[in-house]
Structure 1
């Protein structure tokens, strides 16, 4: 529990929840779970906000002077609404985040391969054991693999004590998942539970751990251990249409990744779908890397986003690993560059003939990719007659 408490002191986004649970615990210890009772057994709440300093002494009154015309009475200042409890914690957290010198890198990534392979995965899952894979699952897993396999410097934390500034390079990645929560009064806030040692998980185990945390958030079953060990966070405001964001980086973490909406570039959003198809226009997604500039440099952040980009277009066998982990008995669609000769009309006709031939091949030879290996003893193979690349 000491590790959990230490982690929560770093993961300030969740401090409001601790205060809410502590208030319930003080009123009735049985109203919280055993893990929370254990956590609060030696918990000491903050001593509170410092007392405001007394106002400076007023200057001595000047000698009486001739009376001036009276000014109209001043209007009373708006009293406003006091910010207390969870709201006050959020204020404190945001002010604390200002002490972290950050910078942000942006990268726009084509999302077509992400869409197509996700569709293949979910179609297979829908016909077999059920369940779905989200875009966030795939992007978050690409973030973990990029850091763990290529840019471990992104998994670092700045600390300062009596010996001076230091950097901690973590052995494993604790991935914090920012989850939007609507409270009973209609207000909204964030919870950031963590997938501990996410770099040791295959994709299927990663999705299971992710969904387990989301389920706990929705059912109010989170325990202190669910917040322990966060080293990197990811937030996805793209689910509500935000194209890109620069989220706040909390003390104790070195990186937070923002994920934007998946959409056609703004300049083409009113275009005819046939025009987009003729141009080979893909939807795109903007991914941001906000990092602690004391321990991570801009070039490292840029290389990190470059690697995420490469994984999301299928390099390093990313989708092969995903399909294999989920037991999908097909080969993933790969990335290829479109070819359009100068004679567009003839090229279009040639492509249409090839598409018709591919459709016919799937009609007469589609049985060649039927799933006849329930024990997964053989690697999936796509016959050349059924492969769009050939």
Structure 2
């Protein structure tokens, strides 16, 4: 099936990858042209997308242009281990006010923070790693680790929001799937971001986290990321280039 012939349901399956949709689209085209060059995980995913949502004649399944944004935003789905609570009372009134003011522009807030201690600790760690020939760590490694430690102290920062049966709900997540925005060069020379995530990052020690971080960056730049690594992200870190 050609990309432009996908039904709305099939298109929505691919839209679940959010910011990573461009990468999934390029893999799908590769799957159509040279399926042997696509990993088994992606073959299974694209095969399921093509087979399980066949057109049934309903208006919902009419063909649409490939990977255009859906009219309705897909709400996050809690995992089996997450706790879900209905938002009610004063919290719901605040939510209603926020929802009615979505047309108000959002301002970006910036903070200037002293990083002398961060820099010194990075030097000490890298000197230790150099003696063991184990590479080096960046500022972003340390900042992402600090985010995990911060979430352990303020778990609500990892919460999510969803709508279930027409009611607003808060998703109280037990684990952190840390998304990393990684700069990738496409085949045509243009650049974009991939945002895979490190699963259950909150349960890793620093060395395990560092290794998982490096592994996911290397595989992202080689196009070796599996579908599951794009899904279930709870927190995302982007490095705009100011440090690191």
TM-score, normalised on structure 1?
A: 0.45
Measured after TM superposition, the shift of residue 28 of structure 1 is 2.9
The change in CA–CA distance for 1:217 and 1:30 in structure 2 (over 3 A counts) is: same
Q: Deviations over 1:279-303 (max 9, x none)?
A: xxxxxxxxxxxxxxxxxxxxxxxxx
Give distance in 2, aligned partners of 1:33 and 1:227.
15
Query: Contact 1:7–1:230 at 8 Å: present in 2 too?
Result: no
| Structure 1 gap segments, 5+ residues each | 1-5, 50-84, 239-259, 263-390
Measured after TM superposition, the shift of residue 9 of structure 1 is 4.8
Give distance in 2, aligned partners of 1:9 and 1:151.
31
Report the counterpart of residue 158 of structure 2 in structure 1. 155
Report the counterpart of residue 233 of structure 2 in structure 1. 230
Stretches of 4+ aligned residues off by more than 3 angstroms: 6-11, 44-47, 99-106
Is residue 2:123 matched to residue 1:141?
no
* Secondary structure, counterpart of 2:243 in structure 1: coil
Measured after TM superposition, the shift of residue 161 of structure 1 is 3.9
The change in CA–CA distance for 1:229 and 1:237 in structure 2 (over 3 A counts) is: same
Give distance in 2, aligned partners of 1:153 and 1:31.
42
Measured after TM superposition, the shift of residue 199 of structure 1 is 0.5
Is residue 2:64 matched to residue 1:48?
yes
Give distance in 2, aligned partners of 1:186 and 1:96.
31
The change in CA–CA distance for 1:227 and 1:8 in structure 2 (over 3 A counts) is: farther
Give distance in 1, aligned partners of 2:109 and 2:46.
40
Measured after TM superposition, the shift of residue 131 of structure 1 is 0.9
Report the counterpart of residue 122 of structure 1 in structure 2. 126
Give distance in 2, aligned partners of 1:142 and 1:173.
13
Measured after TM superposition, the shift of residue 27 of structure 1 is 2.2
* Secondary structure, counterpart of 2:202 in structure 1: helix
Report the counterpart of residue 210 of structure 1 in structure 2. 213
Q: Deviations over 1:225-277 (max 9, x none)?
A: 22122011000012xxxxxxxxxxxxxxxxxxxxx437xxxxxxxxxxxxxxx
Q: How does 1:1-390 map to 2 (within 5 A)?
A: 9-44=15-50, 47-49=63-65, 92=69, 104-147=108-151, 149-238=152-241, 260-261=242-243
Bigger-Rg structure (1/2): 1
Query: Contact 2:139–2:243 at 8 Å: present in 1 too?
Result: no
Measured after TM superposition, the shift of residue 182 of structure 1 is 1.4
- Counting matched residue pairs gives 194
Query: Contact 1:7–1:228 at 8 Å: present in 2 too?
Result: no
Query: Contact 2:161–2:169 at 8 Å: present in 1 too?
Result: yes
Give distance in 2, aligned partners of 1:166 and 1:107.
31
TM-score, normalised on structure 2?
A: 0.70
Q: Deviations over 1:48-100 (max 9, x none)?
A: 24xxxxxxxxxxxxxxxxxxxxxxxxxxxxxxxxxxx7xx76xx49x979x99
